[in-house]
Amino acid sequence: GEDVEQSLFLSVREGDSSVINCTYTDSSSTYLYWYKQEPGAGLQLLTYIFSNMDMKQDQRLTVLLNKKDKHLSLRIADTQTGDSAIYFCAESYGGGGADGLTFGKGTHLIIQP
């Protein structure tokens, strides 16, 4: 079945870059997503990438996709204290129906001053 794996914690210093990694098993995944969850809040979509792309950049966020290795990463440049949150990798098949998202367990990003 589908599975999405992430490491549980990442600690970085303020101002450094954060790189959050994710692996997935479903080769038919068409879209891959990164969501952010702040304490007590819902899930906020940060960015997504279509599976035929290798990279997508959006301001401080860079998404890299290695489809061969089924590896997705999110790089946050110049990490700030406001970036402290749980980051979820997710995938969907995108077959045109209302298919749901399959999420990883989330990576807690901890910012050191």
Pick the piece of the chain touching another protein (CB under 8 A) from 14-22, 30-38, 61-69, 75-83. 30-38
Label the pairing between strands 43-50 and 31-37.
antiparallel
Q: Which of 104, 66, 64 is nearest to 87 (CA)?
A: 104
Radius of gyration of the chain, Cα coordinates, nearest whole angstrom: 14
Binding flag, residue 38, another protein (CB under 8 A): no
Q: How far apart are the C-alpha atoms of 80 and 91, rounded to whole Å?
A: 26
Among 78, 99, 110, 112, which residue interacts with another protein (rule: CB under 8 A)?
Answer: 99
Binding flag, residue 31, another protein (CB under 8 A): yes
Residues 1-23, buried b or exposed e (16+ Cβ, 10 A)? eeebebeeebebeeeeebebbbb
Question: 77 or 110, CB closer to another protein?
Answer: 110
Binding flag, residue 30, another protein (CB under 8 A): yes
Among 26, 60, 67, 103, which residue interacts with another protein (rule: CB under 8 A)?
Answer: 103
Binding residues (CB under 8 A) for another protein: these are 4, 30-31, 33, 35, 40-45, 48, 50, 88, 90, 92, 94-106
